[in-house]
Each structure stands twice: as C-alpha cells, then as structure tokens.
Amino acid sequence: MRASAFVYPWDVNGDPRAAARIAGLGVQQATLASAYHSTRALTPRHPRHRIVTARHAAALYPVDPTRWQGRRLRPYAAGDWAPGDAYGEAAEALAGAGLDVHTWVVLAHNSRMGEEFPDTSVVNAYGDRYPWAPCIAQPATRAYLTGLAVEAAVRPGAAGTELESLGWYGLPHLHAHDKTAGVALGDAGTYLMSLCFCPACRDGYARLGLDADELAAAVRRALEPVWRGATPAGGWEAVEKLLGEELATATRAWRDPVARSLQEEVVGAVRAAAPGGFRILLHADPDPYHVGANVGVDPEHVLGVADGVVVPCTGGPGLLAPFARHATGGNVLAANLTVVRGMGGSPQTLHEDMVRAAGLGAGEVRLYHAGLASDEDLSLVTRALARPV
C-alpha cells in the first residue's frame, strides 16, 4: 500500500535531517502544505524551535502578483513561520530524499479573511458570523478559491495535490480557548448551525421559492430542543425530524449544487494548469450534508470529477465503503490515519488499520502527521510500514 506523510514546511526547513528522517519511515510520498490555515504546531525534533505559531491563513510560497492584481480577496503572505518560498525549500529537500512531493492546499478556511472582510463569511440562522468559514456561494469567494487552488496546487515539481475544505465549512472549528462543547449538537444540530444566511444564500433560497427569514426562524425553532439538551440521534433523518422533511430537503437543494459546482470548477481549473499525470484528490466525507475540512460530497459525483479522495479513517475505515462502491480503476482511495497518540491517533495499530482500510478499497494511506509525532510514534509507524499489507 502506497503511503504518504503529511508535512509542514517548517518541519523541514532549518533541519538538515528532516527529509531523510521522513523518507526513512518507509513512505513514498510527502504531502506538503503549500497553503494553510492558522495553527500552533509542535516541532519536537527541530534544532531551532519547538513551537511554530502560524498566525493566519497564508500561502507558503511567493504569490504571483499579476494573478491577484486588483482583486479584493487574495492570499496572505506568511510571516516568520514560513518566510520566502518555504514550500519550495522544503519540497526540494524532500524530493532530494527520494520522495514524491504533492501539495496540500487548504481552501475554504480562513479566519483572517473573515475578520478583514466580514461580508465573505457564513452567517448562521441567528445572525452570527463565522469568520473562519468563507461562504462558497459568493461569486468573489469562489473566484478567490479557484485562483488559490490553481496557484497553490501546481507548484514546481509537484506530482499532484490534495485539496482540503473544498466545500461548505460551518460551525466545526478548532478555535483558541474553544467553549462550544457545552451542548452536544450531533450531526443534525451541527448542520442546522452551519446553514448560511448571507445575502448570496438568501438569494439562493429565494430562487427556490423559500423565504429566508421564515427558513431562519424555522431553523431556530428546530434547534430549541437541542439547546435544552435533547441531542438528536441519527444522521440526515435527524435533520428531517427537527426541521421537517420538506424544509430540510429544500436547504440541500440549494447547498449541494453550490458545493458540486465549486468542486467541478476548481478541479477543472487545476487540471487545466497542471502537467500531464498530475493527480488531484479531495479530502472528503461521503455524507453530502457534512461540513468541515473533510467536506461532505456525493461519492459518485466527486469520483467523476477528481482523481480520488482522502477519507478520514482514524475512527475506523467505514467511510471508505460509499466511495468504494463508485470507484473505478483510475480512482485513488486514500485512508487518512492519525498516527500521533497525543491527538487521538493509534500508531501501535497502524498495520491493522491499513489492512482493514485495504479491505474496504483503499489503495493508499495518509499519515497525519510526520512533523507532529513523537519519536516513539514514528518508530511504530516505521515498523508498521515495513510489514506487507
């Protein structure tokens, strides 16, 4: 089974041993961040630092000024956490260690953009803005995401890309000092709290014959039992129970085509700019109403658009099955497994997890994350990858 490790440029740059250490795990590929959101990251082996704080979402390479000239929305440059062409420097080192390098591009997740341009953000049924979540129904946001995807994905020497957050983002977000877990929302509550009521989405509802104010009021009423502590059980059927089947279906009639068309647009633009053989994968969840970094998709649709998907499998490989039912011989199904025990991963069961994922159709594995893991975690990874699957 082909394996790739996720890596940040700051894991590699300034550490002359990093690239060889990552290759020594037994992986064939490094999936290297080229555009990434704000984060605070541990670097447990770096000779110069132990913590890197990326203060805002940024391009980790020098952007092309002509591409973005005159545009209101444009990528932000990184600060001292990834100066210059941080991506290019790390990519060169990783390739020099014998690894294929693919870009890792985070798209609809940008808190700084939401703070500076609040009109770009998702607005929930209560009127609260989510600055971390750009609304993908807005034309300017879609143009920005497409431009960023092309520029950040097709970097010199890259053999492919993995696109994260290419769809609806919503309430879920790892925020500093987060205090949102006091009420268990479940999938249904999360969906309702992620519905957008910005002007673009209000217009979209209107085109479907819905009154946006009435829909927002219905969403608020549907959430009342949730705030009282009644966590709705189940998936989409719980949304239908809370909101009513007709209104629930109507929200999807607006949101699903918006996400699908953006995925088509972005993948098409990247493919047009990329060299032959360039692979385009999406981080994806097979339930189309789900939101977040692993965007909800229609498996049949997305496998007809992209070359494949990276599927979260740390809690088990079950999400692979809906994709496997629609995959063709040319599609890539990659199981994403967390191997950092401090982040809920299980490197000690990596081989067993890979075998289970292969049984459900995965031909590749992604390891999250080579830069964040302890030496002991990486030793377990090395032993697991040495065993055949």
What pLDDT, on the 0 to 100 scale, is given for residue 184? 82
Sign of the CA dihedral with 20 first, then 26, 29, and 35 last: negative
The pLDDT of 335-358, averaged and rounded, is 97
The lowest-confidence range among 68-72, 113-117, 174-178 is: 174-178
| Average pLDDT of the residues of the chain | 96
Which residues face 31 on adjacent strands?
6, 102
The CATH number of the domain holding residue 340 is: 3.20.20.80
pLDDT single digits (tens) 290-309: 999 999 999 999 999 999 99
Any domain includes 234:
no
High-pLDDT (> 90) share of the chain, %? 95
Look at the chain and report how many structural domains it folds into.
1
Residue 34: how many other CB atoms lie within 10 Å: 29
- Residues spanned by the domain of 60: 2-176+278-385
Any domain includes 13:
yes
pLDDT single digits (tens) 74-96: 999 999 999 999 999 999 999 99
Any domain includes 92:
yes
Any domain includes 370:
yes
What pLDDT, on the 0 to 100 scale, is given for residue 183? 78
Which two tokens mark 147? 């431009």
Cis peptide bond N-terminal to 351, omega within 30 = no
Q: pTM, whole model, 2 decimals?
A: 0.97
> Is residue 306 a contact partner of residue 283, using CB atoms and an 8 Å limit?
no
Any domain includes 335:
yes
Query: What letter would DSSP give residue 167?
Result: S
Any domain includes 246:
no
Which two tokens mark 100? 């294929």
> Is residue 75 a contact partner of residue 148, using CB atoms and an 8 Å limit?
yes
